[in-house]
Chain A
């Protein structure tokens, strides 16, 4: 496990954790990660049953019903 720390807005730290040097623990590809809404990737990766795939859809479905409340800034 490797970590790389940077400073983000407000002088806060952010740490990236990576596992590229460990067999079987590579991160998801950038293509997959850039495609938001990839809810089924995890279930497919692990080869688990249909139940996982069904449940993984639920959050996305709920989100689409949420009224937009963006305030123009990324905040947590």
Chain B
């Protein structure tokens, strides 16, 4: 069963998706559902012997274009809605044991273009109000499949975290006449202590207000709202900034660094969001090579993150692990 249940305490939706309890959990690699289907072999989700990048509807979606009726009836206190939306899986490469960080920058550039296409296509649904692109990487995050992939949730509402950023951005513009993220990017570049990497179009930095020790935000220097607003050069620069960030993560402790990667774009509900500014956020759960940053009482119960580290020091660590991005043929 799946449905949306309203939480009146916080004013936000909770999606229930009980069928997801049965989804595949860490299968051996010979039974990976995201690998190509080898001739005569185990039939995977992708029925061809190879591919470059694929996107498909999730077999176990939290949201569906034609959702089943809710299991319970709602009322004034507890509104209930069908879980209408779209859940897609985006497989980055046919190479089972690769990671996005280990892929060449050209593959990440291709992924950025696929993301833009999926953003455009999913935004066209009248029931979709927000297209959320993300990746959960590593068992520490709770992935159920190791094969390199990300996900897209096309929600029938603007999710609360993005809604709060939108409110803050609008408030900042009304108060100062400027874009909030433009101001943040300008301040990070001016200060420079928290900058991890920079190219012609993007800056990667540990934000002044980082909640996780190695949290990184990647933002364009030009004011734009979505992947589809970017020029080809900007899409390439975004790929390079992502590559440098996650490759630096892997070099930190000489391990494949777990993280959540989320793309924050404008909503797809037809509203005016000229005050908003596209960016990518990374939330790695590790605070050392062997210790996790847990979301415990203060974080989960009060919404107040306690960061045991200084953003300036963690940015310096990451910056020392950044290596140049090399494009095939030397082109950008």
Contacts and interface: CB of A to CB of B under 8 A. Distances in A.
Interface of A: 1, 3, 6, 8-10, 12-19, 23-25, 27-28, 30, 32-34, 36-43, 45-49, 51-52, 54-56, 58-60, 62-63, 66-76
Nearest to B325: A46
Contact of B328 (A3, A6, A24, A68): A24
A60 B97 contact: yes
B326 A76 contact: no
A10 to B, nearest CB: 7
List the 9 closest pairs (A to B, CB-CB), nearest first: A55-B250, A74-B33, A58-B256, A14-B56, A33-B94, A56-B102, A12-B57, A39-B97, A27-B52
Nearest to B33: A74
Given A14-B46, A70-B31, A48 B103 contact: no
Say whether chain A's binding surface is mostly helix, strand, loop, or mixed: mixed
Interface of B: 22-36, 38, 42-60, 89, 93-99, 101-107, 109-110, 113-114, 117, 139, 145-146, 247, 250-251, 254-257, 321, 323, 325-329, 331
Contacts, number: 203
Contact of A1 (B50, B107, B117, B256): B117
Contacts of A69: 24-28
Given A52-B102, A55-B250, A28 B95 contact: yes
A30 B83 CA distance: 39
Contacts of B43: 74
A52 B250 contact: yes
- Most chain A beta-carbon neighbours within 10 Å: one of B31, B254, B331: B31
B250 to A, nearest CB: 3
B256 A55 contact: yes
A22 to B, nearest CB: 9
Contact of A41 (B25, B95, B146): B95
Nearest to B111: A17
